[in-house]
Structure 1
Amino acid sequence: MLLDCVVAFKYKTLIRLFYSLKAQILAGGRGKGHFNTGFKGGVHITKDVSKVQPIIQQMLGNKLITKQTPKEGIEVKKVMIAESVDITRETYFSILMDRGWNGPVIMASPAGGMDIEKVAEETPHLIKTFPVDIFEGVTPEIATDVALFLNFEGDMREKAATEIKRLYDLFLNVDATQVEINPLAETSDGQVVSVDAKINFDDNANFRQKAIFQLDDKSETDPQEVKAAENNLNYIRLDGNIGCMVNGAGLAMATLDIIKLHGGQPANFLDVGGGVNESQLAYSPRE
């Protein structure tokens, strides 16, 4: 159904120069991923409108496998067609809640793009953390310092600082626990653009962000996990064969570690602490 709509769409009115085709799954690493059919990449850029339909056909209905998906991959049910940005330089920017700081911190790197995990492993000095005072927020000084670390120069530095402040406002306004922009890009026409974003929202803000939470797509989530969440249980399905039902998240994680240490494979994470009642416990997912 989606493919028919895409084929019928007037592509030429959408984008002037490039077509960016992105498989829509809830996982990162799509650009370097591969499909179960052998087709490479969940993100493709092309100038040729005649290639749009064949690329989409290679994606829809097939499973995309990346570093962040289960080993069998995730089925692609939607493909986004977007305007492609002419990027001259990529940086990494994120805001997340940090328990050590007891508030938000900014993490930034001038070496953004698909290999940010490799940067963290091999060149950690290229990643810097900027704590944010929750009462003061991202001041012009902090925004400028981050832009400077990201190697934005001249007028671009001011534009980057403005974008950074806007991203922090977004972080607050939507009750996010993380806003990750990768890349925060410098373009050939002298703009600073948040090209790709991943946003995590605080589940406790559901009552305040109803419009956002109504967009939640559970089609890629394990049905057991969905039902557990509906019963207010903290449950994550794993690949092993040893079931775990533990009182408290910390003890649950320690139990998983002990099982792995002795060569076992846990089948799940299940925390039944924190006021779980009899009816919830009776529901607890069964493998």
Structure 2
Amino acid sequence: MNIHEYQAKELLQKFGVATPAGKAARTPEEAEQAARELGTTDLVVKAQVHAGGRGKGTFANGFKGGVHLCKSPEEAREIASKMLGQTLVTHQTGAAGRVVNAVLVARSVEIEREIYFAILLDRATGAPMLVASTEGGVEIEAVAEKSPEKILREPVDRLAGIQPYQTRKLARQLGFESAQIKAAAQLFDGLYRTFLALDCSMVEVNPLVVTSPGGTPAVASEASGTGQRPSLHGEVLA
């Protein structure tokens, strides 16, 4: 089952996973109101379709890009008016594209760096495995081929579950320091609880962004997952 980015944000927030504030809108007027409610001039409007490559996509009406930064509610409304009801074509949609019925209006974040994080079932043991890398924002298969030493793996005991020392260890290995370690560990724990509660076989966040100033990790981009029950699946936070 595929779910949109705004739906995934709501799910993740229930498990304490940090995500930038945002709201779905289905009309230009709703987009403007959502931007006003956020109370910031750092805004982003994102087309909600089940496909990757939205930022580099093109709409049938000629409008370029399914992800746009803006500075005011009025600008958010204008951008939404060019997306809603229009067909967005990306490298994943094929020539037919997909119709945009909703946009996400969210607080934009300043990105310091990007990392990769996933929880999956280890085929050999049947137990969860944490997989992470400092090389976020690129295909993990490419990292595995070119720089396998940059991929970190942390097995999780099926009965004991994830332990605090494991999330702290992983945070340090990913370059977090001081207060960042606690924030990163809490985020990893929240993603693990999401993995369990939704009966997933995989939850992947790529990239997991580290915002600046402050260096706080947050899910502000792509997350996906597969599971036995309807869960995170497809590009839901990009």
Structure 1 length-normalised TM:
0.62
Q: Which of structure 1's runs of 4+ aligned residues deviate more than 6 A?
A: none
Q: Match for 1:64: what amino acid?
A: L
Percent identity, aligned pairs only, is 37
CA, structure 1 residues 174+10, in 2 after alignment: closer, same or farther (shift >3 Å)?
Answer: closer
- Corresponding position: 1:136 with 2:160: yes
Bigger radius of gyration: 1
Equivalent positions of 1:1-287 (< 5 A) are 2-6=26-30, 9=33, 11-113=35-137, 115-116=138-139, 119=143, 122-190=146-214, 191-196=216-221, 198-203=223-228, 205=229
Report the Cα offset of residue 122 of structure 1.
Answer: 4.6
The CA deviation at 1:161 is 1.5
Structure 1 alignment gaps of length 5 or more: 207-211, 217-287
The structural deviation recorded for 1:124 is: 4.3
Q: Partners of 2:227 and 2:179 in 1: how far apart?
A: 35
2: CA distance, partners of 1:67 / 1:124: 27
Cα drift, residue 33 of structure 1? 3.0
| 1:43 CA displacement | 1.5
Q: Structure 2 length normalisation: TM-score?
A: 0.73
SS for the counterpart of 2:159 is coil
**Between Structure 1 and Structure 2, how many residues are aligned?**
207
In structure 2, the gaps of 5 or more residues are 1-24, 234-238
The 3 A distance-change label for structure 1 pair 7 and 147 is: closer
- What amino acid is the match of 1:23? A
Task: Give the CA deviation at 1:79.
Answer: 0.5
Q: Is the CA contact (8 Å cut-off) linking 1:95 and 1:104 kept in structure 2?
A: yes
Letter in 2 for 1:94: A
Instruction: Give the aligned partner of residue 247 of structure 1.
Output: none
Change in CA separation of 1:8 and 1:57 when aligned onto 2, cut-off 3 Å: closer
The AA in structure 1 aligned to 2:39 is: I
Q: CA RMSD in A?
A: 2.9
Q: CA deviation at 1:156?
A: 0.8
